[in-house]
Structure 1
Amino acid sequence: MDFDVIIIGSGPGGYVTAIRASQLGMKVAIVERENLGGICLNWGCIPTKALLKSGEVYEQLGHLGEYGLKVEKASFDFAGVVQRSRKVAAQLNSGVGFLMKKHKIEVIEGTAKLEKGSPAPKVVVALKAGGTRTVQAKHVILATGARARTIPAIGLEPDGERVWTYREALTPKTCPKSLIVIGSGAIGIEFASFYRALGADVTVIEALPRILPVEDEEVSKAAQKAYEKRGLTFRAGASVKKLSKLKAGVSVEIEVAGKAESLDAEVAIVAVGIVGNVENLGLEALGVKIDRTHVVTDSHCATGVPGLYAIGDVAGPPWLAHKASHEGVHCIEHIAGVPSSNLNSPIPGCTYSTPQIASVGLTEAAAKEKGIAVKVGRFPFRVNGKAIAAGETEGFVKTVFDAKTGALIGAHMIGTEVTEMIQGFTVAITLEATEAELHATVFPHPTMSEAMHEASLDAFGLVLHV
């Protein structure tokens, strides 16, 4: 064997798995066809957050008077905004390279393809530098990620100029004056939020009856109301029939409640989901089961092919970087035969718009669909001392408890920096906490996190400050 484990793909799933494997004493190689850190560090999670921060700061300049402050003639350098985002991505890419060297992980630059082998498939790499290299390991882990879904039949095929995916939306030469975002999941909403912050007229189209459809319905409704206050426009329950390119922009034909409508803008962003990167890997020849572009795995991330595993986006939803890392660590620890974390641990989800949205566990509706009797608590930031002092009173915290056992089974937030707060509830669910533990927990004052405590109290009729 050349290695104990070969990992294909160096995103948050792949590189974290490689590090953990090295810590466990394994000889590790990672194959990457493009950039260390994968989509997340280079074209996804990290650079989008850099853009969003610039947009957030710029937007706040328009509210300085509320804090007794003044600024004259606020403006932005769009090229500088994009450049900062790219520098952040480059810094983290370099950081992953350092980690690979630190942990003595061999990085093979090229495109991998699998062939039959034993005890695991052989990995044949078409090297970036030219030629091929065949390597063999006891275990192979697929961490090839996913890419933006397109629908060429109705014109949703990116051209890099007027029709963008997330990738083109990260590095445009100029900021469009008008924009249509097709899809209101986290990716679509984050780009809509960023470009609106810089003054673009933005319309978001969603096929389902409400935006952010995976979120709790109350949060979804509150989010739309908050976004509309910022000037965003929505078309929910809208079916896209055709996207056409005009001389100076795009036109999107939609149908809402049986009525046809046409929307025009400079640019359209396609954010209608993702598809797994399963092509040209030799998976079909090996007999790997694939379901709707995602590799089917068991409770330990194993495929049906001996020695072959899959983690992260290529293995299915939720398509989140931290889910990929969690799966990767579990997978390699299972392979090594050491105690590992539960793959069923709760996975929080975050949307970094203005306001932010964060959630973990079951929504109220999902819990009821499962036949669970629930107790629901809510607490608004408008009566939270820190929120009032900060001038950030928009939003609320919602908790969902099992009425019979008192276990916390879901938590949902909308407001400033709630993405930094959701982990408290994630820990609580992981530890199987009930209302007794949450009620007994002391939350520091003044903090916005006190709303978490109050929402937990409210579910049992004990709220203090409303």
Structure 2
Amino acid sequence: MGCIEVMPKLGLTMTEGQIESWHKSEGEEVKKGEVLFDVTTDKLTNEVEARESGILRKILVKEGETAKCLEAVAIIAGADEDISDLLKESGAEDSEQKKEKQNPEKQENQQKNLSKKVVVIGGGPGGYIAAIRSAQLGHKVILVEKEELGGTCLNVGCIPTKVLLHSAEVFTEIKNSSDIGIDVGDVSINWGNVQKRKGKITKKLVSGVKGLLSANKVKVIKGIAGFKSKSSIEVVKKDSGVEKVDFDDIIISTGSLPFIPPIPGVDLDGVVDSTGALNFESIPDSIAIIGGGVIGIEFATLFSELGSKVTVVEMLPFILPPIDRQISDLVSNKLAGQGVAINTGCRVTEIKRSGNNLKVNFSKENENSSVEAEKVLVAIGRRPNIKDLDVDKIGVKVEKGHICVDDKMKTNVDNIYAIGDCTGKNMLAHVASEQGVIAAENISGKNVFIDYKTIPACVYTKPEIASVGITEEQAREKNIDYKVGIFPMAANGKSMISGETEGIIKIISHKKTEEILGVHILALRATDLITEGALALRLEATVDEIITTVHAHPTIGEAFKEAALAVQKRALNMVN
């Protein structure tokens, strides 16, 4: 007897899913328990098994289309079985009609004849979001990407780095598990399997992006784009040939590349950038990291936890320059305690081969030093990636290698917008995504801006760092009359339970109005906690508004309220 296959409900909050791919075609035999299709939800892809055996008689929801949970997606029945009653029971309606009903914004734009041809160059976290939002607003959208969808973030940046950091964190916790009453035998890292997991997660997320673009009818062209005029580009396609693409408006989202300084020996085998460091065939016995910024310190955390001997060489007199100095000093001390050698105020002069290792020579106040290591990671920043675009041909203003834009993400050329790292404004994936939405909506005639003061920054050390708003150093530079509240995580019950008592939550507020101006966290799950700080700045909240908001116990988050109380010198769980 035939059956109707439905969109499964894979979680409490799931309301709909998108068919990423069918593993069977109409007319093919299906066995119960065999993977029938992949469904994408919230950028994750899940395999769905057939509930019954039979022939896949009818696919009701095609690849790239969306269905609500428990809605019919296919019919499985015998080869000669009449499926008319099953089709009627499924209540399948035309997928296009369904989508139009679900997107009133798109309908409104089309009714007003505001639909445009929008091209997006770059499929990273800014580009693919800009493409999807443009499509939601009723435009015909083409996205050009020369490599993998998801850009640096999904493929060789945020996601794979955090996968490796998570494995290192779990490894460390298991090694120290006797501290919490759990005895285990010898623990080791299976680096090959760690790398496989990294690849699997990346593949799932990239597949999810592909599915989202398909569902929104965004055409993807693989190739390298270059401007021919203010209304056309030429794409040298990856498979072969050249395609000219005309547009009404265009969004440049080409991201950034690692900056490689002109240090003698930087091209030696074993000297890598952040991409290379993600793909080591084995864990290096030792690694020298040139650059003590966010990327360098995250890799220092990773490899020190994996057992490598780590040395950091930083030109500035401190690590993590964008971070509140009190926080960066705490991190520096923590890393030093783990055996990481941190050399600040040092300039690298040369890298050269020394037997099987590499030797990094550096100087500090006219004194020369050196360190030998198996690998050298160069992590001193990134530069905008606009070389292939030929923006100079069409008069787009460029300064110091980045594309200049206004608060609406528009360049000096009316129909050309730019977002993300290529603008040089704030090189964070979540900033690029928000800028993508801003650009798409302004192309559609809206008048929207981005509020940079509420953008959080995160560093995935152990414990994590997160911040939003101004630092103490910036408050002093701007002559702001401020006061500070600090609560130590050692006084927080949940931190003690978790064995993560190092760190603080620090709140900076205006001295008179007590409006919150900055939040800086070094704590377990700081990157999750910072959202409260970002919202506080967005709403121009005061210390009192945090204090009078009841925070759950026992949680890491209740330390946020204690830090607010500390601003008024009345914290309840520490001596003021």
Q: TM-score range by the shorter chain?
A: over 0.9
Partner of 2:81: none
CA shift digits 1:303-330 (9 cap, x unpaired): 1123111100000132100000111111
Deviation string, structure 1 residues 82-141 (Cα, Å, up to 9, x no partner): 111111111111110000111000001111001113xxx311100111111111111111
1:458 counterpart = 2:566: yes
Match of 1:154 in 2: 264
Checking the alignment, whether the CA contact within 8 Å between 1:2 and 1:137 is kept in structure 2 is no
Q: Which residue of 2 aligns with 1:102?
A: 215
Name the counterpart of 2:121: 8
> Equivalent residue of 1:125, what SS?
strand
**Bigger radius of gyration:** 2
Paired residues for 1:46-445 under 5 Å: 46-117=159-230, 121-157=231-267, 161-338=269-446, 340=448, 342-445=450-553
Task: Return 421-430 or 238-247, whichever deviates more.
Answer: 238-247
* Equivalent pair of 1:326/1:343 in contact (CA under 8 Å): no
Seen in structure 2, the aligned counterparts of structure 1 residues 164 and 252 have a Cα distance that, compared at 3 Å, is same
**More displaced, 174-183 or 332-341?**
332-341
Residue by residue over 1:417-457, the C-alpha shift from the partner in whole angstroms, topping out at 9 and shown as x without a partner, is 11110011001101111112111111100001111111111
Q: Which has the higher contact order (CA 8 A, sep 6+)?
A: 1
Separation of aligned partners in 1, 2:329 and 2:497: 26
Q: Tell me, in whole angstroms, the C-alpha distance in 2 between the residues paired with 1:217 and 1:113.
A: 42
Distance 1:465 1:52 in 2: 32
Deviations 1:10-34 (A, max 9, x none): 0000001111111111111100000
Do the aligned partners of 2:463 and 2:500 also contact (CA within 8 Å) in 1? Answer: no
In structure 2, C-alpha distance between the alignment counterparts of 1:109 and 1:339, rounded to whole Å? 32
CA contact (8 A) 1:407 1:433 kept: yes
Q: 1:153 to 1:188 in 2, by over 3 A?
A: closer
1:19 pairs with 2:19:
no
**What's the secondary structure of 1:388's corresponding residue?**
helix
The amino acid across from 2:218 in the alignment is I
% identical equivalent positions:
38
1:394-437 CA distance string (max 9 Å, x none): 10100100112211110101121111100110011011111121
Do 1:299 and 1:343's aligned partners in 2 also have CA atoms closer than 8 Å?
no
Q: Quick one: which amino acid aligns to residue 235 of structure 1?
A: N
Deviation at 1:257, TM superposition (A): 2.6
Say which SS state the counterpart of residue 11 (structure 1) adopts. coil
Structure 1 432/284 Cα, relative in aligned 2: closer, same or farther at 3 Å? same
Provide the C-alpha distance between the structure 2 equivalents of 1:255 and 1:433, rounded to a whole number of angstroms.
Answer: 47
The one-letter code sitting in structure 2 at the alignment partner of 1:78 is W
Q: Partners of 1:153 and 1:444 in 2: how far apart?
A: 52
Instruction: State the Cα distance separating 1:345 from its structure 2 match.
Output: 4.7
Q: Which amino acid aligns with 1:97?
A: K
Shift of 1:223: 0.5
Secondary structure, counterpart of 2:389 in structure 1: coil
Rounded Cα–Cα distance in structure 2 between residues aligned with 1:358 and 1:108: 37
Unaligned runs of 5+ in 2: 1-113
Which range moved further: 332-341 or 11-20? 332-341
Report if aligned partners of 1:227, 1:354 keep a CA contact under 8 Å in 2. Answer: no
Relative to structure 1, is the Cα distance of residues 373 and 2 closer, same or farther in structure 2, using a 3 angstrom cutoff? Answer: closer
Q: Is residue 289–residue 300 contact of structure 2 (8 Å, CA) maintained in 1?
A: yes
Tell me how far 1:388 sits from its aligned partner.
1.2
Contact 1:122-1:134 at 8 Å conserved across structures: yes
The TM-score with structure 1 as length reference comes to 0.96
Superposed displacement of residue 284, structure 1: 1.6
Question: Which position in structure 2 is the counterpart of 1:448?
Answer: 556
Aligned-partner residue type, residue 59 of structure 1: T
Matched residues in 1 for 2:122 and 2:481: separation?
43
Query: 1:153 Cα deviation (Å)?
Result: 4.0
Secondary structure of the structure 2 residue equivalent to 1:129: coil
Q: TM-score scaled by structure 2?
A: 0.78
> 2 CA distance for matches of 1:272 and 1:149?
7
**What corresponds to 2:93 in structure 1?**
none
- Greater mean alpha carbon deviation, residues 27-36 or residues 283-292: 283-292
| Residue deviations 1:43-86 (CA, integer Å, cap 9, x gap) | 00000000000001111122111100111111111111111111
User: Cα deviations across residues 172-229 of structure 1 (Å, max 9, x unaligned)?
Assistant: 1111100001111111111111111110000011110011111001001100111122
The alignment covers a number of residue pairs equal to 461
Question: Which is further off, 102-111 or 290-299?
Answer: 290-299
CA distance in 1, matches of 2:570, 2:401: 48
Distance (Å, rounded) in 2 between the aligned partners of 1:268 and 1:44: 18
- Following superposition, the deviation at residue 339 of structure 1 comes to 5.2
